[in-house]
Every structure is written in C-alpha cells, then in structure tokens.
Amino acid sequence: MKKRTPTFNSDEEAEKFVETADLTQFDLSRAQLVRFDFKPKNKTISLRLPEELLQAIQGRAKREGIPYQRLIRQALEREVG
C-alpha cells in the first residue's frame, strides 16, 4: 500500500518534499495536471457572449478548477495554436 501524499502550506514546503522524497512510494493516482501561464498577457479584449454560453463556460471552468477566462484562453490557443 502506497503512502498518502502530504499537504503543504507553501511552495517551499512542496519543493523540499519533492527534492527529498521517493515519489514511487506515494499514491499519485489523484494528482492533477497543472498548467502554468508564463507568457505575459498584455492585451485586453471585450467579448459579448450569450448568457447561457458564459454560464456553461463558467461551470466547466469551476469543474476543472480554473478561472473561466483561462478556460477561454486555452480554447482559443488550441484552436489557433
């Protein structure tokens, strides 16, 4: 039986854990992929959407645990990228 992954109060605690722990001993089956945005976002746009579409986007973003604007940006990046 694998160990439960501990929770951390800071990025520094998480970094120390990852540097020293044997991660094969831990159950990572519930781990989630995290995507970091490093590119600067220096342009603002205004976009009109039907309310139902915006609610659907916000609901999906909530289920995925990300801000809805990031979900929209990711969809645009996939489409044109």
Burial 23-43 (b: 16+ CB within 10 A, else e): eeeeeeeeeeeeeeeeeeeee
Q: pLDDT band for 71, please (50, 70, 90 cuts).
A: very high
Q: According to the model, what pLDDT value does residue 57 have?
A: 97
1-12 per-position pLDDT tens digit? 888 888 888 888
Would you kindly state where each structural domain of the chain is located, as residue ranges? 1-31, 34-81
Tens-digit pLDDT profile for residues 9-40: 888 888 999 899 998 998 888 887 777 777 88
In angstroms, the CA 55 to CA 52 distance is 5
Would you state the pLDDT for residue 3? 87
